[in-house]
Amino acid sequence: MGVSKIQELIEKKDYITVKKRLSEMNKIDVAETLKPLEPHMTLLLFRMLPKDLAVDVFAHFSSKQRLEIISSITDNELENIIEELFFDDMIDLIEEMPANIVNKILVYAKEDERKLINQFLKYPADSAGSLMTIEYVELKKHMTVKESMAHIKKIGLDRETVYTCYVTDNNRTLEGFVSLRTLVTSDENLIIADIMKDGVINVNTHDDQEIVAQSFRRYGFLALPVVDKENKLTGIITVDDIIDVIEQEATEDFQIMAAMFPSEEEYLDTSVFQLAKNRLPWLMILMISGIFTGSIMSKYEDILSSVVVLATFIPMLMDTGGNSGSQSSTLTIRGLALGEIMPSDLWKVLFKELKISFLVGMALVIVNFTRLMLFDKAGIPVTLTVSITLLLIVMSSKIVGGVLPLAAKKLNMDPAIMAGPLITTMVDGLSLVVYFTLATKLLGL
């Protein structure tokens, strides 16, 4: 049921039907339905939801909506939400709330949970430790299949996933895993040691979330165990959490590639001042960089005044160079993000872009040479100058666009910085220098 229909029912004060319809909907659909409503209406409908559904919907609200809900509900209602939230959702909530709200939340957390919360908050931002949850199924090697199934039935409702169970020793060292499918289809008298798989692929608590995302993409897991430096199991990361990370990383890369400081807030929820603040610094840097392009042209004023026709080809050469560099940088940045390209592949990328740029450059040169000779009647000297410059610019731009993101990665910088706007600005200056230098040599100026 859409938002308009819900609003229509509310206007009719048909709250019984509203409650019934919302209760039948998926938690994500309910969150999306409540999102555009006024805060007081959102709160009204939220209070109509069944307890379990309300907690699930709360976990899918935006930070702004969560803050509005917590600020409006009673202490008893807040206590119910905190008690039912999965641990990783509680950590996310605490990280995004102001201090006074955090204190209010912690009042209703159990003592053992408060200790774990403090431990989790010490993990670096965007690390595996900050993403993981402690709600997983843990088994021992000596347990039988029957005992394991009974254990899962007992605790399963409080765990984020039961499809993969992790086997640890008495010191909680990770030794292996066993799937629920294996448990269900095995003889109940077998022990876990006989059916478990060892050599568990895992991540460390301090691994960056990009490494975690790459592991999920590579192996197609539903969950991934997180261990400390002593290989003790400290938590798991589930696929639904990593999907959020992948979306966040992709959004961040797009924003950086568009010459903006990244922001996790939604566009319509971000203030005009904040959006302007995110965009202005890079625009200022690129504008100042553009001044150097102007100074290069000033240096070659004599050449332009001697052969005025040269000026007409400058936009074409600069645009082609910028577009060529952007193509290469975009593919390289995406390859790095997906783990298809590594910083150690720098020479492979260099030689590949060299070959590609030569083929592309020659094709453009043939078209351009034909146009200048047959239609523009530019003459051999000018045509050669423009055509050779075009080839050199395409080749250099593609090499620069392909190699700079790899260099940035090696320097522990975000490769997305070396994207379209920056590459274009760099290539513009390079294009002019190459163009006027060739013009000086070939035209005898």
In 3D space, the residue among 219, 215, 169, 171 whose CA is nearest the CA of residue 196 turns out to be 169
Domains, the chain, with CATH or none: 3-122 (1.25.60.10), 138-239 (3.10.580.10), 267-442 (1.10.357.20)
Q: Does 134 have pLDDT greater than 90?
A: no
* pLDDT band for position 394 (cuts 50, 70, 90): very high
Least confident interval from 203-217, 259-273, 317-331, 431-445 = 259-273
Residue 1 confidence (pLDDT): 53
Counting other chains too, the contacts that 336-344 makes at CB distance below 8 Å and 24 or more residues apart are: 336/405, 336/406, 336/409, 336/415, 337/210, 337/249, 337/250, 337/253, 337/415, 338/214, 338/217, 339/214, 339/217, 339/218, 341/406, 343/406, 343/409, 343/410
Query: Where is 350: in which H helix or E strand?
Result: helix 346-371
**Which residues are CB-contacts of 25 (< 8 A; sequence separation ≥ 6)?**
1, 33
Q: Centre a 10 Å sphere on the Cβ of residue 222 and count the other Cβ atoms it contains.
A: 13
- Token digits of residue 191: 């022990």
In 3D space, the residue among 230, 145, 147 whose CA is nearest the CA of residue 182 turns out to be 145
User: Once rounded to an integer, what is the mean pLDDT over residues 383-393?
Assistant: 91
Beta strands in 360-415 (DSSP E): none
Angle between helix axes 87-96 and 99-107 (nearest 10 degrees) is 150
Contact (Cβ atoms closer than 8 angstroms) between residue 425 and residue 348: no
Query: Where is 423: in which H helix or E strand?
Result: helix 420-442
In whole angstroms, give the CA distance from residue 53 to residue 32.
Answer: 14
Q: Centre a 10 Å sphere on the Cβ of residue 188 and count the other Cβ atoms it contains.
A: 12
Contact (Cβ atoms closer than 8 angstroms) between residue 425 and residue 289: yes
In whole angstroms, give the CA distance from residue 285 to residue 280.
Answer: 9
SS3 category, 166? strand
- Token digits of residue 383: 């045509």
Residue 276 confidence (pLDDT): 84
* pLDDT band for position 393 (cuts 50, 70, 90): very high
* pLDDT band for position 202 (cuts 50, 70, 90): very high
What is the overall mean pLDDT for the chain? 84
User: Once rounded to an integer, what is the mean pLDDT over residues 191-201?
Assistant: 91
- pLDDT tens, position by position, 232-277: 998 899 888 888 888 877 777 777 776 677 776 777 677 788 878 8
Residue in the block written with tokens 């908050």: 121
Q: Does 130 have pLDDT greater than 90?
A: no
Enter the pTM of the model: 0.62
